[in-house]
Structure 1
Amino acid sequence: MAYLNDFKAGLEGRLSDKARIVGEDGTVTRWDESCAPSPAVTIFPQCEEDVVEIVKFCRQKGIKCFAQGGGHSWRVRNYREIDVVICLRDMNSVAIDEDSRKINFGGGVVVQELIEAATAKQLEVGSMLCGGIGRYMGKYGLAADNLLSCNFVDAAGTLHQGVSRETDEDLWWAIRGAGTSFGIITQATVQAYPQSNNGLSWTGTLIFADPSKLEAVVEAINELNMDENMCVHLLFACVPPTHSPAIMVVPWYYGPEEEAERAWKPLLDVGPTIRETFMAPANRLNDGNDPFGEKGGRKPGLGLGLDTLDPKAYRHIWDLYIQFLSENPDAARTVILAERYSRAKLLSIDRDSTVFAHRGSKYEAICVPWYTDHKLDIRANAFSQTVRNIWIQKCCKPTETFETKSYIAFSGLNEPLQTLFGDQERIDKLMGIKKKWDPDNYWGALMDI
């Protein structure tokens, strides 16, 4: 209580009227509680100036703070060091210039809010600070490729407005892929695009309850002719109403239903047990992901960029998945996911334009044990690591510069920088920029640079 009172006494006069300072009872639940901060104080700023004052106060007191928007991001590496969480959720304004198709939004905006606002203006857009993979990248590249400018508060508590390629080319390179390591992004502007097909796309769920079809499903996904209007998610998950383990595929096609049926015919011909496909507007496409986005629970996941899905390897992973669930009933919501997107647009954009390195990964895969009992941590981490090792051995093609690739938003706690950002030259450049902007690694909660 004394700690909270100190913050209130020292900060309340410096913050806007509606800013809130709460104690441990006000801690905001994160998506993954296995490495979530346990702050003594959580502060809800209402504007950029509030963020400035909070960071300055924490630095003066020698206290580590950590900013979060929706709390859905991946694992917090140095979570034990964090005493103060700055929850940006109240800074969730979205403004759209319809003539230029530019969207300006606050640091507390979550993806669904951004999508809803864009859809209302018949536009489409993605998320960005860790690169921003998603359905539309086949058409427009990474979401970070479409970021135009941002405002951020640095480790000294200074607000920098309108940061872009023109204001600081090196910083701009680093922010687009490693932004959370350089400050608190309080506002950003992104390029959006007009919708195609009246904003409607074909999607749904294919459930293969017969595990003997696994190899056929994997081979069909590997052999798909992915164009810019397609993406696919392959999951191992327990699905309702029986909540039995099943092979699930979520296809997507941005176009008319008849075109979608032709594009996905090789997979449909495998014969799903349950097929639920439909045309959906952009703001409803993520509805099926809502259960996966549920906050709370322990989710010590690991992710990796893959070059292929090896059918025999996936049979092995399926067997391990079934065994893990049978031995750990509390982990029934565990998910193994592989995502495939068209990469042609990504590869057409200069790899050196952003710190995001792994534009050529054919798949982004993640293994997410999901449970509540902390006593399962050792077994869950061992399971994730075993799956990761199979991916490395059977689904990855190492290069001369790095053996593994991981999308930063899906990476585990101890991934080396080479896995996240590529070759040593890129890492040296990133570390040089980090030394200039954050020499004390104050913003080191998610990774050490």
Structure 2
Amino acid sequence: MPSLYCFVALGITLTQALAAAYTNPKDYAQMPVPRQSPLPSESVQQGLGPSLSKNASIFGPDDSRWPDATERYQDFAVPQVQVVVQPGVEDDIPTIVKYANEHGINFFVVNRGHSLTSTVGRFNGIQIDVRSLTDISINKDAMTAKLQAGARNYETIDVLWKEGYVTTTGSCSCVGMVGPALGGGHGVQQGVHGLIADNLIGLNVVLANGTAITVSETSYPDLWWAMRGAGHNFGIVTSFDMKIYPVTVPSYYYRNYVFTGKHVEPLFEELNKFHANGSLSPTWGGAFGVYTMEPSVSTTEATIFWTFIYGGSKEDAAADLSSFDALGPVAVDEGDVPFTSISDILISGLESDLCAPSKVHITGTAGLQVYNVTVQRQLYDLYNKKVSKEPLLSGTKLVHEGYAVEGVLRGKPEGSAFPLRDDNLLMYFDAMPPPNSGLEDFAFQWARETEDLWNAGEGEWRKPTTYVNYAAGHESLESMYGYEPWRLEKLRALKAQYDPLNKFAYYNPIVPLES
């Protein structure tokens, strides 16, 4: 995801099923956590350790490695981890799962800890930490790459680029690859090559009972369908193969604009023309914007930042950008960068504030087809009203992601569990109440009001949609997994087949945990 939009990305490689929809994400934090007897790390070390590879580790809260291993992007409704197990090799994971099952212990898999949803707050047990499994290998003859579960976006982009290849990734450097892929996986390459999930070839998966299998179009094809869009509910991906493509665009042109409140209506009218209701040329990586406070521009009203990414030269991009130049922006910045630097342009590089861990994020999201200009004005005015009342929330961001979608639309809607191929635009609200400010409830209300405006702007004919990787935890199952009745029926049937005891029940679950 682009820049100021790192929030998405959801680094939990695996996780576990979904919970029921609640009015407020705080409901999950307040619900009883599934009971788990105290779990001394010493007993796990003694019982499990001898069965694992020599590089595996098992430790508890007293270990010096604990803070790094349990650190998360989202500090609201965090999982209750009692013991961390770090596999040394992929083959350790089936052994860990079988041990947990034999001893009645809940397990939860994490690669980068970027999960946003409050549903993970109901976990209590062993964290399987796959961050050390980062191997990336390229098969040039087959035009594929094999990635282990801990591989991050920036590592994948860098390794492939050095060999003359690209693939579909998210746009936030610090997020893992497999977590977003299991929920679809949006990114700058999607206009040309489709979602991350569209480029998967095969998955090495550990099922809830500890069985290791390979899942592909020809091996467990029913699970192959489910894993691409609802995969967090079905198994642990230990590694996966995906398509790669020769680099054909050596340099990307970007142009950054700064606008103010007077530009709202003309800006969004031009953006609707630019995106052309899902017909933006895939030569464009997309156009991405944010409402936020910038004191150097205004201390009383939100500033509007917009970034355009083009796979080519400034001269070729100029015609499509001339109407934005004509709006009279406050400032303009531009340049050319390789694909490896796009995350830095989008302010989502490794050292960016958006990759900073341990913040409370109060979020909301919606999928749109076009921008409702009237609603965008209402959102802008609401932003100013809320920040005027609670200045400590001046860092709140309303993020607008407008990727090219041609490659996404090539995928058949019925071909995978990902149901939202007609979402042309992704919206994201992120408020970060300071510690001990008591502003969580205020931020929750603002987030819901924002979501309501986004969805109302789509009209009565279109129901709310939720990109599962951006879900906060209160959204309906239908909005995440599809309104067609057959979709949830199929997912529930597969859940009963592959995870009948609901071991994977913590990440936007299809089958909610019992209270």
Distance between the aligned counterparts of 1:103 and 1:65, measured in 2? 29
For residue 240 of structure 1, report the CA deviation from its aligned partner. 7.8
Q: 2:413 aligns with which of 342, 351, 365?
A: 351
Letter in structure 1 aligned against 2:491? L
Gap runs ≥5 in structure 2: 1-37, 170-180, 511-515
SS in structure 2 at match of 1:151: strand
Distance between the aligned counterparts of 2:362 and 2:398, measured in 1? 12
Q: 2:271 aligns with which of 212, 218, 221?
A: 221
Q: Is the 8 A contact 2:39 2:82 kept in 1?
A: no
SS in structure 1 at match of 2:108: strand
TM-score (norm 1): 0.94
TM-score (norm 2): 0.82
Percent identity over the alignment is 24
- For 2:507, the equivalent position in structure 1 comes to 446
Gap runs ≥5 in structure 1: none
- For 2:126, the equivalent position in structure 1 comes to 84
Q: 1:144 aligns with which of 197, 201, 205?
A: 197
Q: Is the 8 A contact 2:368 2:426 kept in 1?
A: yes
Distance between the aligned counterparts of 1:54 and 1:411, measured in 2? 29
**For residues 119-141 of structure 1, what are the alpha-carbon distances to aligned partners after superposition, in whole Å with 9 as ceiling and x for unaligned?**
11121112422101111111111
**For residues 371-395 of structure 1, what are the alpha-carbon distances to aligned partners after superposition, in whole Å with 9 as ceiling and x for unaligned?**
3336322111111101000011113
For residue 282 of structure 1, report the CA deviation from its aligned partner. 0.9
Distance between the aligned counterparts of 1:396 and 1:110, measured in 2? 38
For residue 169 of structure 1, report the CA deviation from its aligned partner. 1.4
The answer to whether residue 58 in structure 2 is matched with residue 5 in structure 1 is no
Distance between the aligned counterparts of 2:485 and 2:39, measured in 1? 46
1:252 and 1:59, CA in 2 relative to 1: closer, same or farther beyond 3 A?
same
1:313 and 1:2, CA in 2 relative to 1: closer, same or farther beyond 3 A?
closer
For residue 293 of structure 1, report the CA deviation from its aligned partner. 2.6
SS in structure 2 at match of 1:252: strand
- For 1:20, the equivalent position in structure 2 comes to 57
For residue 148 of structure 1, report the CA deviation from its aligned partner. 0.3
Q: Is the 8 A contact 2:78 2:120 kept in 1?
A: no
Distance between the aligned counterparts of 2:376 and 2:48, measured in 1? 54
1:76 and 1:359, CA in 2 relative to 1: closer, same or farther beyond 3 A?
same
RMSD, matched Cα: 1.9
Q: 1:132 aligns with which of 180, 185, 202?
A: 185
Q: 2:457 aligns with which of 391, 394, 399?
A: 394
For residue 326 of structure 1, report the CA deviation from its aligned partner. 3.4
- For 2:149, the equivalent position in structure 1 comes to 107
Distance between the aligned counterparts of 1:68 and 1:2, measured in 2? 19
Letter in structure 2 aligned against 1:11? L
SS in structure 1 at match of 2:355: coil
Letter in structure 1 aligned against 2:485? Q
Moved more, 60-69 or 374-383: 374-383
SS in structure 2 at match of 1:436: helix
Distance between the aligned counterparts of 2:128 and 2:432, measured in 1? 26
For residue 67 of structure 1, report the CA deviation from its aligned partner. 0.8
Counterparts of residues 358-377 of structure 1 (less than 5 Å): 358-373=420-435, 375-377=438-440
Distance between the aligned counterparts of 2:329 and 2:509, measured in 1? 44
Distance between the aligned counterparts of 2:209 and 2:123, measured in 1? 18
Letter in structure 1 aligned against 2:116? W
Distance between the aligned counterparts of 2:150 and 2:132, measured in 1? 6
The answer to whether residue 442 in structure 2 is matched with residue 384 in structure 1 is no
Letter in structure 2 aligned against 1:214? V
Q: 2:95 aligns with which of 42, 45, 53?
A: 53
Q: 2:243 aligns with which of 186, 191, 196?
A: 191
SS in structure 2 at match of 1:18: coil
Q: Is the 8 A contact 2:122 2:506 kept in 1?
A: no
- For 2:256, the equivalent position in structure 1 comes to 205
Distance between the aligned counterparts of 2:118 and 2:86, measured in 1? 20
SS in structure 1 at match of 2:116: coil
For residue 323 of structure 1, report the CA deviation from its aligned partner. 2.9
Distance between the aligned counterparts of 1:11 and 1:243, measured in 2? 58
Q: Is the 8 A contact 1:398 1:404 kept in 2?
A: no
Distance between the aligned counterparts of 2:39 and 2:453, measured in 1? 50
Equivalenced residues, count: 443
**For residues 44-101 of structure 1, what are the alpha-carbon distances to aligned partners after superposition, in whole Å with 9 as ceiling and x for unaligned?**
2121122122212222222221111111233141422332221111001110112322
Letter in structure 2 aligned against 1:257? K
